[in-house]
Structure 1
Amino acid sequence: NAWVLTGSYDGSCKVWTHEGAQLMNFSNFPGVDKVTGLCYSPATGTYWASGGKGRGRVNVLDPRSPLNVTEFVRGVCGFGDYAVTALHASPNDGDRVFGVVADGVPTRHDVVVWRFESDATFRVLRAHEDWVEALVRVPHRGETPEEVYSVGTEGTALRWRASGDVSTDVWTKEESIDGGDVAGGTACACFSADLGALVTGCEDGTIRIWEPSVSPDDANGRESGPGSEDGDEPEKESRLEDYLDGEETWLRRVMPGHQGRVAAVAEL
């Protein structure tokens, strides 16, 4: 694409055209007060920048967003373990990035190599304080961002959403849902596309229905109209109106009935 990538002692990275027009500006990197190492990773389509006083750290920049996506890949790549002062990626071997490590000890100057693995961990999402008992993917609808729910043993459910831009792979925690008075925690979960709600099975024998406080369509800035592009069907009222039970923001219904742990739940 005939672009030029530059890094400076002012702590910024810039992308330029060959005509001298500035296209992007990345700055304010954590742990980097001046950029001394810079390269393009062909395997991931990202820019890597490093440097700074003390233990400068690698920062990964996604030009498609454009965003600093370091926090989303740090747990996968172990960037926090190395003080990297220089970076190099060979165009003949785009799966590898080389970094020069200088940790302040004169007798130790190493080279670290990162290698792209297509089947390696893609993202690490950290937030739960206990075991994750269930992971639920929300059925994808049109151009709305992908969403998943992770449910912990302690009863807390977290709502994660992917970037709405198909060119980026950033996942963020949108909401944390307190399980409330669930005795013993949550054991399983599924998502009801018909209700637009999360359904959980609990240790105390109850089944609980939870409705998002913000729908994926609303969060994507999409206005509801009389019809939809998927078939011109009119917008339907939430069927959860039939189940309303209480005034809590998320919890819509508690259904007792089982005498023991609800170990599985599925939508029909």
Structure 2
Amino acid sequence: MSAIDAAIRTWPERFKSDAKFATDEIACEILEIGRRESLETVGQLWTDPARCHQNWLGVTRASHWPYTYSYRDAVHMVLPVVTGDAMLDSVYILETLDPEDFFERRLDGHAANEILKILDVTAEYRIAFTKPLVERAIAEAAASKAQVLHFSSHGNGTGVFLTNGKKLSWKAFVELIKPAAGPDKALVMATCGGGDQELTTALTAAGVVFGWVFGSTAEKVSFSDCCLAWSILYNRLCDHGFDKPALMTTLKAINAAIDGDFVYRRWTGKKYLRFPTQK
């Protein structure tokens, strides 16, 4: 067994022992392996990840039983430690609130966009008053390969409403956002009832998968509470990514700050699991 393989075999237990999945020791080890084997640097990783992955496999075993790591996986686990960069890559925000909300500037999507600018996260912000414009925005979100789709509208436990008053059932909504879905993508539902189980039931029934779905199960959440919730969420996603223990802490922090019954549902490969669990 090579020194590299021997080192990699120790990673799983070491990652498990660290809630953030990152330590200075492992970060330095990964970079040293990369330098020693002339792999791409962290900065170059973004421009040609496929080449980095192939280089990585060229100097390590493809499968490190019972775990498999690519160079990209390894670097992403420790990227904040190595570079100080955010673990949140990009967010696409689609806002379709009531006309009065636009007049009064009660726009939580716009507020989230400003927060993301401060956090130096790539964000695209679109306003869509009608279903055709929403469809156009979703196609743009899919093409951009944004890590997060942030959907801001009014809604309840049965679906969402667009600016022009059109109601979309969860089934219709899922069909609408399907192009932007993916197991490595997150859906942030900035709507009342956006955390309702019926949404993930509709997603599962349609075979549409988001790795994580965030939202509130409350009948009503105020504008200021929404802004605070998404500020906490995006700040912590930047620092900790989508690590399960970190997300649990994030939801606890949101629900401690505001009364909105916020939840997240994680796709396991077979079904969605909710946190916090129902009382």
Choose between structure 1 and 2 for higher RCO, CA contacts under 8 A separated by at least 6 residues. 2
Hey, which of these two has a bigger chunk of strand by percent?
Answer: 1
TM-score by length of 1: 0.24
Q: Which has the higher helix share?
A: 2
Which structure has the greater CA radius of gyration? 1
